[in-house]
Amino acid sequence: MAKTRWLTDEQREAWVKFAAVLELLPAGLDAQLARDEGLTHFDYFTLAMLSESPARTLRMTALAARTTASLARLSRVVSRLEAAGFVERTPCAEDGRATNATLTEAGWQKVVHAAPGHVENVRDLVIDALSPEQVVQLSAIATQLLDRLDPEQKMAASLD
Protein backbone atom coordinates (compact mmCIF):
# COMPACT_ATOMS: atom_id res chain seq x y z
CA MET A 1 0.00 0.00 0.00
CA ALA A 2 1.32 3.43 -0.98
CA LYS A 3 2.07 5.92 1.73
CA THR A 4 -0.52 8.71 1.96
CA ARG A 5 0.81 12.00 0.66
CA TRP A 6 -0.90 14.33 3.13
CA LEU A 7 -1.47 17.93 2.16
CA THR A 8 0.77 20.57 3.62
CA ASP A 9 -0.91 23.31 5.64
CA GLU A 10 -0.66 25.65 2.63
CA GLN A 11 -2.10 23.00 0.25
CA ARG A 12 -4.90 22.15 2.68
CA GLU A 13 -5.82 25.85 3.03
CA ALA A 14 -5.90 26.24 -0.77
CA TRP A 15 -7.97 23.08 -1.17
CA VAL A 16 -10.52 23.98 1.52
CA LYS A 17 -11.01 27.43 -0.01
CA PHE A 18 -11.33 26.00 -3.52
CA ALA A 19 -13.81 23.36 -2.28
CA ALA A 20 -15.89 26.15 -0.73
CA VAL A 21 -15.93 27.98 -4.09
CA LEU A 22 -17.03 24.74 -5.78
CA GLU A 23 -19.95 24.52 -3.35
CA LEU A 24 -21.00 28.18 -3.32
CA LEU A 25 -20.58 29.20 -6.96
CA PRO A 26 -23.25 26.88 -8.45
CA ALA A 27 -25.84 28.20 -5.97
CA GLY A 28 -24.94 31.79 -6.87
CA LEU A 29 -25.25 31.07 -10.59
CA ASP A 30 -28.53 29.18 -10.11
CA ALA A 31 -30.08 31.88 -7.92
CA GLN A 32 -29.73 34.65 -10.51
CA LEU A 33 -30.92 32.53 -13.42
CA ALA A 34 -33.86 31.14 -11.44
CA ARG A 35 -34.92 34.60 -10.28
CA ASP A 36 -34.50 36.33 -13.64
CA GLU A 37 -35.18 33.58 -16.19
CA GLY A 38 -36.79 30.59 -14.49
CA LEU A 39 -33.76 28.48 -15.45
CA THR A 40 -31.09 26.58 -13.59
CA HIS A 41 -27.48 27.19 -14.53
CA PHE A 42 -27.45 23.73 -16.14
CA ASP A 43 -30.55 24.63 -18.18
CA TYR A 44 -28.81 27.79 -19.38
CA PHE A 45 -25.55 25.94 -20.07
CA THR A 46 -27.44 23.37 -22.15
CA LEU A 47 -29.15 26.08 -24.17
CA ALA A 48 -25.85 27.95 -24.57
CA MET A 49 -24.04 24.83 -25.86
CA LEU A 50 -26.78 24.36 -28.46
CA SER A 51 -26.67 28.06 -29.38
CA GLU A 52 -22.95 27.78 -30.15
CA SER A 53 -23.30 24.66 -32.32
CA PRO A 54 -23.72 24.54 -36.11
CA ALA A 55 -27.41 24.84 -36.97
CA ARG A 56 -27.94 25.11 -33.17
CA THR A 57 -28.08 21.29 -33.13
CA LEU A 58 -26.12 18.54 -31.40
CA ARG A 59 -26.59 14.82 -30.96
CA MET A 60 -27.74 14.14 -27.44
CA THR A 61 -24.52 12.18 -26.80
CA ALA A 62 -22.41 15.14 -27.92
CA LEU A 63 -24.50 17.54 -25.85
CA ALA A 64 -24.07 15.26 -22.83
CA ALA A 65 -20.30 15.32 -23.34
CA ARG A 66 -20.20 19.11 -23.74
CA THR A 67 -22.21 19.61 -20.56
CA THR A 68 -20.54 16.72 -18.67
CA ALA A 69 -23.95 15.23 -17.95
CA SER A 70 -25.11 11.67 -18.02
CA LEU A 71 -27.58 10.92 -20.81
CA ALA A 72 -30.25 10.30 -18.17
CA ARG A 73 -29.74 13.72 -16.54
CA LEU A 74 -29.54 15.47 -19.89
CA SER A 75 -32.68 13.72 -21.11
CA ARG A 76 -34.63 14.99 -18.08
CA VAL A 77 -33.35 18.53 -18.60
CA VAL A 78 -34.01 18.47 -22.35
CA SER A 79 -37.53 17.14 -21.68
CA ARG A 80 -38.17 20.14 -19.43
CA LEU A 81 -36.66 22.54 -21.99
CA GLU A 82 -38.68 20.85 -24.73
CA ALA A 83 -41.91 21.30 -22.74
CA ALA A 84 -41.04 25.00 -22.41
CA GLY A 85 -40.60 25.21 -26.19
CA PHE A 86 -36.85 25.94 -26.05
CA VAL A 87 -35.54 22.67 -27.52
CA GLU A 88 -36.80 20.17 -30.06
CA ARG A 89 -35.67 16.55 -30.31
CA THR A 90 -35.59 14.81 -33.67
CA PRO A 91 -34.12 11.57 -35.02
CA CYS A 92 -30.61 12.04 -36.37
CA ALA A 93 -30.61 11.91 -40.20
CA GLU A 94 -27.12 10.34 -40.30
CA ASP A 95 -27.84 7.69 -37.65
CA GLY A 96 -31.42 6.64 -37.02
CA ARG A 97 -30.44 5.29 -33.60
CA ALA A 98 -29.32 8.72 -32.42
CA THR A 99 -31.38 11.72 -31.39
CA ASN A 100 -30.57 15.35 -32.08
CA ALA A 101 -31.43 18.28 -29.84
CA THR A 102 -32.06 21.57 -31.63
CA LEU A 103 -32.47 24.98 -30.10
CA THR A 104 -35.79 26.45 -31.23
CA GLU A 105 -36.27 30.11 -32.06
CA ALA A 106 -37.87 30.54 -28.60
CA GLY A 107 -34.81 28.85 -27.09
CA TRP A 108 -32.51 31.18 -29.00
CA GLN A 109 -34.50 34.18 -27.75
CA LYS A 110 -34.27 32.79 -24.19
CA VAL A 111 -30.47 32.56 -24.43
CA VAL A 112 -30.23 36.05 -25.93
CA HIS A 113 -32.43 37.43 -23.13
CA ALA A 114 -30.68 35.48 -20.34
CA ALA A 115 -27.08 36.10 -21.42
CA PRO A 116 -26.65 39.71 -20.22
CA GLY A 117 -27.87 38.95 -16.69
CA HIS A 118 -25.83 35.77 -16.54
CA VAL A 119 -22.66 37.54 -17.70
CA GLU A 120 -23.22 40.31 -15.16
CA ASN A 121 -23.60 37.68 -12.43
CA VAL A 122 -20.41 35.91 -13.56
CA ARG A 123 -18.64 39.27 -13.45
CA ASP A 124 -20.04 40.01 -9.98
CA LEU A 125 -19.26 36.60 -8.48
CA VAL A 126 -15.90 35.89 -10.15
CA ILE A 127 -14.33 38.17 -12.75
CA ASP A 128 -14.63 41.54 -11.02
CA ALA A 129 -13.25 40.07 -7.77
CA LEU A 130 -9.95 39.42 -9.57
CA SER A 131 -7.26 41.60 -11.06
CA PRO A 132 -6.54 41.22 -14.80
CA GLU A 133 -3.43 39.21 -13.88
CA GLN A 134 -5.48 36.92 -11.63
CA VAL A 135 -7.97 36.30 -14.47
CA VAL A 136 -5.03 35.14 -16.61
CA GLN A 137 -3.86 32.94 -13.72
CA LEU A 138 -7.38 31.56 -13.22
CA SER A 139 -7.51 30.62 -16.89
CA ALA A 140 -4.10 28.91 -16.69
CA ILE A 141 -5.10 27.02 -13.54
CA ALA A 142 -8.42 25.96 -15.08
CA THR A 143 -6.58 24.76 -18.20
CA GLN A 144 -4.23 22.64 -16.08
CA LEU A 145 -7.14 21.14 -14.16
CA LEU A 146 -9.13 20.48 -17.35
CA ASP A 147 -6.13 18.68 -18.83
CA ARG A 148 -6.43 16.25 -15.90
CA LEU A 149 -10.21 16.13 -15.58
CA ASP A 150 -11.09 16.17 -19.29
CA PRO A 151 -8.11 14.61 -21.11
CA GLU A 152 -10.26 13.74 -24.14
CA GLN A 153 -11.42 17.39 -24.35
CA LYS A 154 -15.12 16.56 -24.49
CA MET A 155 -16.23 19.75 -22.76
CA ALA A 156 -16.46 22.89 -24.85
CA ALA A 157 -14.20 24.69 -22.34
CA SER A 158 -11.43 22.19 -23.09
CA LEU A 159 -11.58 22.99 -26.79
CA ASP A 160 -10.27 26.55 -26.47
Q: What is the mean pLDDT of each run of 10 residues along the chain (160 residues)?
A: 93 97 96 97 97 95 91 96 97 88 98 97 97 97 92 68
What was the pLDDT predicted at 49? Answer: 96
What was the pLDDT predicted at 90? Answer: 95
What was the pLDDT predicted at 94? Answer: 84
Residue ranges of domains in the chain, CATH in brackets: 36-113 (1.10.10.10)
| DSSP per-residue string spanning 77-120 | HHHHHHHTTSEEEEE-SS-TT-EEEEE-HHHHHHHHHHHHHHHH
What was the pLDDT predicted at 159? Answer: 55
